[in-house]
């Protein structure tokens, strides 16, 4: 006998119950689909990601010097000419030689990256190669032009008129900026794809100039450009801070510290504003990334600012919540909510904890560097020289590595936060990776050995150069060069 009467069924199956049941069923289905998708990842996806992370993470540091160092060399060289300052001229010449070493190893890592784009991600380059060809072509041209003018500048010392010689740095700076912009334009396109249509599964109506000059590229480039000056400026200043900690408080070390620190200070104070503007509209462009940044598991109005914390089994744990600030910073509104992860299908969620912690690491370190830089100049205006304080010199010595960590964390946040898409909302990363398995792990192992060797080699060369400069060497002859023959020795032989 049926135990339910028509009346009891109507009492149980109310609209609210039906709605809740369907919502729960949809959530369960989404979770199952997400697990199935994760289990179906190609075998080559993880090693391809690790390989790309290693190559990009290593190369981006050198790229920052390529973008920012020429401007510092130009300012130092120009000061030496205008003020007839031999200290400034000596620093400019030394920095140029350091730049050449960094450029050489950067050329190796950059070449590796150019091959990796096609080898690791054939689905991306095979499908959208026509779309991305123009920015990559211009980046290659910029690289070769930068190499040419770097060579002219290096060999122009004492061979060219001073005012003409210093101008050779400007093409280096301009081509470095152009090359960086072209690469950032490609990455911006991956975040906000434009300049093509897909008809019947085929890419058509390609407009490469729209890719190169898409509106998002300028802001993303500005964020990276300012970050490059922070990294290079704090790193170079830190070298001279270490020298002053060791008692070398001479004009050489003070000037070597001040010029890059000025660049780094301006960049550090500017960066929070550039980053904030870059975030405008992220809730519409990539809502899942914003939700991961803010660790917004659910949509709250107003949304709090969450410091730290992780997402465990769908619950936020260990965070410090500051009311209203999440909405105010992320949405530019005192009460507009940050879209929560609960509004996005689970299969479209990025790795939330990694994205959130990387983003907060970037913001935290950037804020610290900006605050200390501002404090330095306020104290200097009041007549207090912090270069005489060992605590400040210690902090300045680690500011460069901190800037590196902030930059790497920023790239982790933007790239991991875009997952599972390689081209947002157009192509998933699983569809772009090649059909490789164990061979990629071998490639990753070999690459790790090569990059480790290049790192050790660069450190050894730069330390050798610094040691010989301290000993009074100027031209830095090769340590294995033949001895100079005495007059008449050739005739005797």
Q: Is residue 24 part of a domain?
A: no
pLDDT per position as a tens digit, 166-182? 899 999 999 989 999 99
Tell me if 5 is assigned to some domain: no
In three-state form (DSSP H/G/I as H, E/B as E, the rest C), the secondary structure along the chain is CCCCCHHHHHHHCCHHHHHHHHHHHHHHHHHHHHHHHHHCCCCCHHHHHHHHHHHHHHHHHHHHHHHHHHHHHHHHHHHHHHCCCHHHHHHHHHHHHHHHHHHHHHHHHHHHHHHHHHHHCHHHHHHHHHHHHHHHHHHHHHHHHHHHHHHHHHHCCCCCCHHHHHHCHHHHHHHHHHHHHHHHHHHHHHHCCCCCEEECCEEECCCHHHHHCCHHHHHHHHHHHHHHHHHHHHHHHHHHHHHHHCCCCCHHHHHHHHHHHHHHHHHHHHHHHHHHHHCCCHHHHCHHHHHHHHCCCCCECCCCEEEEEEEECCEEEEEEEECCHHHHHHHCCCCCCECCHHHCCHHHCCCHHHHHHHHHHHHHHHHHHHHHHHHHHHHHHCCCCHHHCHHHHHHHHHHHHHHHHHHHHHHHHHHHCCCCEEECCCEEHHHHCCCCCHHHHHHHHHHHHHHHHHHHHHHHHHHHHHHHHHCCCCCCCCCCCCCCCCCCHHHHC
Give 357's pLDDT tier (boundaries 50, 70, 90): very high
Domain count for the chain, please give it.
1
CA–CA separation, 390 vs 396, rounded Å?
10
Higher pLDDT, 28 or 120: 120
State residue 14's pLDDT score.
56
Q: Which of 2-11, 19-28, 64-73, 472-481 has the lowest mean pLDDT?
A: 2-11
With respect to residue 325, please indicate whether it lies within any of the assigned structural domains: no
Average pLDDT in the 273-278 region?
88
Confidence label for 320 from pLDDT (cuts 50, 70 and 90): confident
Residue range 192-234, pLDDT digits in tens: 888 888 888 788 888 888 888 888 889 999 999 999 999 999 9
Q: Express each pLDDT in 128-150 by its tens digit.
A: 888 888 888 898 899 889 889 98
| pLDDT confidence of residue 111 | 82
Give the per-residue pLDDT at 264. Answer: 95
- According to DSSP, residue 200 is labeled T
Instruction: Determine the length of the chain.
Output: 493
Residue 490 has a pLDDT of 40
pLDDT at residue 8 greater than cutoff 60: no
Residue 247 predicted with pLDDT over 90: no
Mean pLDDT (whole number) for 289-296: 88
Match 């304080």 to its residue by tokens.
Answer: 389
**153 occurs within a structural domain:** yes
pLDDT of residue 26 exceeding 80, the answer is no
Query: Could you tell me if residue 384 is inside a domain?
Result: yes
Question: Is residue 434 in some structural domain?
Answer: yes
Mean pLDDT computed over 158-170: 88
Task: Quote the domain boundaries for residue 254.
Answer: 43-299+339-469
**Is 307 inside any structural domain?**
no
The average pLDDT across 152-176 equals 89
In a domain, residue 415? The reply is yes
Question: Does the pLDDT value for residue 492 go beyond 70?
Answer: no
- For residue 27, the model assigns a pLDDT of 54
Q: pTM of the full predicted structure?
A: 0.84
pLDDT(59) > 50: yes
pLDDT digits (tens, 9 = 90+) for 364-390: 999 999 999 999 999 999 989 898 899
Residue 18, pLDDT > 80, answer: no
pLDDT band at 483 (very low <50, low <70, confident <90, very high): low
């Amino acid at each position: 006998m049926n135990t339910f009467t028509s009346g009891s069924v109507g009492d149980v199956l109310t609209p609210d119950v039906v709605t809740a049941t369907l919502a729960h069923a949809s959530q369960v289905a989404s979770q199952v689909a997400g697990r199935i998708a994760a289990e179906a990842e190609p075998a080559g996806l993880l090693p391809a990601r690790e390989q790309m992370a290693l190559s990009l993470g290593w190369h981006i540091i050198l790229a920052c010097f390529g973008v920012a160092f020429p401007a510092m060399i130009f300012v130092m060289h120009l000061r030496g000419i205008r003020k007839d300052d031999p200290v400034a001229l000596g620093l400019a010449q030394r920095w140029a030689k350091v730049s050449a070493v960094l450029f050489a190893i950067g050329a190796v890592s950059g070449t590796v990256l150019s091959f990796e784009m096609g080898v690791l991600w054939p689905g991306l380059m095979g499908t959208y190669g026509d779309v991305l060809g123009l920015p990559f072509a211009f980046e290659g041209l910029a690289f070769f032009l930068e190499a040419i003018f770097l060579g002219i500048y290096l060999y122009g010392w004492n061979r060219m008129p001073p005012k003409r010689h210093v101008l050779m740095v400007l093409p280096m700076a301009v081509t470095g900026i152009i090359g960086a912009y072209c690469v950032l334009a490609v990455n911006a396109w991956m975040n906000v794809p434009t300049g093509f249509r897909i008809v019947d599964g085929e890419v058509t109506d390609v407009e490469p100039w729209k890719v190169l000059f898409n509106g998002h590229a300028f802001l993303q480039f500005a964020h990276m450009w300012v970050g490059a000056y922070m990294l290079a400026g704090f790193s170079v200043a830190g070298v001279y801070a270490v020298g002053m900690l060791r008692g070398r408080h001479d004009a050489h070390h003070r000037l070597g510290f001040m010029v890059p620190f000025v660049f780094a200070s301006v960049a550090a104070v500017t960066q929070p504003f550039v980053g904030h503007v870059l975030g405008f509209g992220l809730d519409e462009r990539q809502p899942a990334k914003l939700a991961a940044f803010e660790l917004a598991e659910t949509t709250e109005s107003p949304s709090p600012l969450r410091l730290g914390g992780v997402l465990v089994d769908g619950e936020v744990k260990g965070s410090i919540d500051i009311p209203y600030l999440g909405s105010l910073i992320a949405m530019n509104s005192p009460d507009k909510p940050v879209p929560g992860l609960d509004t996005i299908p689970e299969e479209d969620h990025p790795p939330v904890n990694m994205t959130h912690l990387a983003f907060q690491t970037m913001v935290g370190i950037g804020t610290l560097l900006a605050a200390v830089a501002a404090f330095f100049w306020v104290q200097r205006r009041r007549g207090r020289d912090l270069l005489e304080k060992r605590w400040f010199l210690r902090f300045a010595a680690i500011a460069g590595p901190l800037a590196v960590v902030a930059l790497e964390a920023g790239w982790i946040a933007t790239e991991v936060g875009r997952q599972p898409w390689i081209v947002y909302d157009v192509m998933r990363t699983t569809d772009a990776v090649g059909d490789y398995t164990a061979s990629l792990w071998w490639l990753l192992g070999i690459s790790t050995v090569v990059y480790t060797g290049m790192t050790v080699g660069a450190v050894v060369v730069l330390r050798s150069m610094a040691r010989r400069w301290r000993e009074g060497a100027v031209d830095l002859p090769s340590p294995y060069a033949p001895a100079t023959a005495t007059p008449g020795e050739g005739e005797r032989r």
